[in-house]
Structures are given as C-alpha cells and as structure tokens.
Amino acid sequence: MPVAPVSAYNTAEDVMNMARAFVNDSFSQGAGRILVDNASFSVQYLNSALQVLQDRIGNAGNLTLVQDNYLIENLPAVVSIDPAVQCSVSYTGYYNGTAIYPAPLVIPGNCISIKELWQRQTGSGLPFTRMSQAREGLASCVQQQYFGEWEYRGDSIYLNGATVPMDLRVRYELRFAQISPATPQNPWSGVQISVLASVNQLATIVAYLYARARGAAAAPAMKADAEEQIRLIENRYIRRAQAVPYHRKPYQDEADPNGIALPY
C-alpha cells in the first residue's frame, strides 16, 4: 500500500495548536475560543514569533537562512574611468556611476545581509573568484577589468566598478516572507514553517506574547520557557558548526627556509 509523503516541515496551524494548549485555550477541538486563527492579533503574534526565531538562529549560524549562488549577471561597465566613481547594487537597481539599471540587477527582496561575493567577467564562462570586503571604505583607485573589493553599507553593495561587464555571485542571509492572515480559502494548515522542528520554539513565543498582552501572572515564566526553547534550537546549529575543522592561517615566520608560507 503506498504511503503518503510526509513533509519535513510543520505548519503554522501546528504552531497555533501548541500555543493554544500552552495558554489553556484548546477548546473546540483545539481551534480555541480567544487565540483563534482568524483573530486579528493571532497573525501578528505568529509573525513576531517567526521574526524572533529567525533573528536568534540566524545569529547562531543557521544555514537554513542562507541563500547561495544567487547570480546578478551582466552588470554594465563604468562609462567614466575615474577614482571618484563608485557603483552600487541596491534593492531597486544597479548604478554604474552614470545610470541606474533596474531589475533584475538588484539585491533580492528577501536579503537582509550580504555574506560573501564572487565575481567574473560576463560571458567568460570562467569560475567566479572570491572578492575581498573593504575595511573602512573602498580604496580610491582607477577602474580595472575586475571589481576588486566590495563594501556593504546603506543596505547596498558598493564597488569601484569595472571597465567591462561583470557578473556577481552572492551569498546572503535571508528572511522568510510574513505569514498572511488565515482564511477559509487559505488556512494555516497549508502554510509551512521552513525551520525544522521549531513548533515548540514558535508556540512558546506566541504564548508569551499572548499572556503578556493580557497581564497574565504566568507571562514571565512563559518568557523563560521561550528563551530555553530558543537556546535548544540554537545549540542544534552551533553543534553542527563545531563539527567543521578550522585552522589559523600561519604567520610568515612559520615559513619554510625559502620564505614560502606552509600550506597548513
């Protein structure tokens, strides 16, 4: 007999059912009387909980919130070769020092932070090369056939520009779109939460927000429960990262007799 596929992710309804249990509102077979899906405050609590969880696990290095290999291709060359010219990629377009080019030459809308950039000349078919992030601003230099360094400020990627069209490969931290209010046509039972095994974490945050808004004496205890639950999911990702070996790059005095840095 065929087995129906089971999603690895829980739903928003799973979270709300658990939250209602935490605040003793599991009436009407779990649908609740006050903390119901279609209450105007329920979607606010749920989105707030999701934002809190994403912020916390993002800071813990959760790769669920990382998008890699996002390509911004054929960025136009600078028109004026001048050290005073800087180019930028923003949420609205690419500025090459002279004109603004709109989508698709943009930072994606779900990006909240740029982590790494790579570059190559458009149409070359060559591997991308990693770019260095500037310290204390871009160096003043004449444009070459590559972008060189990059800087992230003002929610935009800044570059010195290049004399030929370029491609960027972007690795960035993302945030999920907000959950829409529950309706009979679009119930929360069909809305997936794309963070594995996060029902308890989200439900405890929702329960705390609900209790705090009503001045419940149990609100401080619920906040402590939420903190503990979040730490558990943070530790999951921290332990995974600790399994990756890292080695400090040696100083030059650790070179071989010929003065060449050893490869470890």
Residue 195 or residue 251, greater confidence: 195
Render pLDDT for 120-163 as a digit per residue (tens, 0 to 9): 999 999 999 999 999 999 999 999 999 999 999 999 999 999 99
DSSP string, 68-104: EEEEEEEEPPPSS--TT--EEE-SS-EE-SS-EE-TT
Q: What are the pLDDT digits (tens) for 36-94?
A: 999 999 999 999 999 999 999 998 888 889 999 999 999 999 999 999 999 999 999 99
How many whole angstroms separate alpha carbon 237 and alpha carbon 222? 24
Average pLDDT over residues 198-213: 96
**CA–CA–CA angle 219, 221, 227 (5° rounding):** 105
157 and 107 in a common domain = yes
> Are 182 and 37 contacting, i.e. CB atoms less than 8 angstroms apart?
yes
Q: What are phi and psi of 225, to 5 degrees?
A: -60, -40
Is position 87 within any domain?
Answer: yes
Whether the CA torsion 214, 199, 57, 182 is positive or negative: it is negative
Domain for residue 106, yes or no? yes
Domain range for 38 is 12-62+195-237
Domain co-membership, 51 together with 69: no
Answer yes or no: do 46 and 72 share one domain. no
Describe the crossing of helices 12-22 and 40-59 by its angle, rounded to 10 degrees: 100
Q: How many domains does the chain have?
A: 2
What number of H helices and E strands is found in the chain?
4, 9
Same domain, 147 and 170: yes
Residue 221 lies in a domain: yes
Tokens at 31, concatenated: 């649908």
Angle (CA) 202 203 208, round 5°: 100
Buried b or exposed e, range 206-241, using 16+ CB within 10 angstroms: bbbbbbeeeeeeebeebbebbeebbeebbeebeeee
pTM: 0.84
Confidence at residue 250, expressed as pLDDT on a 0 to 100 scale: 65
Residue 58 falls inside a structural domain: yes
208: its two tokens: 């705390």
**pLDDT at residue number 262:** 47
Let me know whether 20 and 95 are in one domain.
Answer: no
Is 76 found in the same domain as 159? yes
What count of other Cβ atoms lies within 10 Å of the Cβ of residue 183?
10
Cα R_g (the chain), whole angstroms:
24
Query: Percent of the chain, pLDDT > 90?
Result: 80
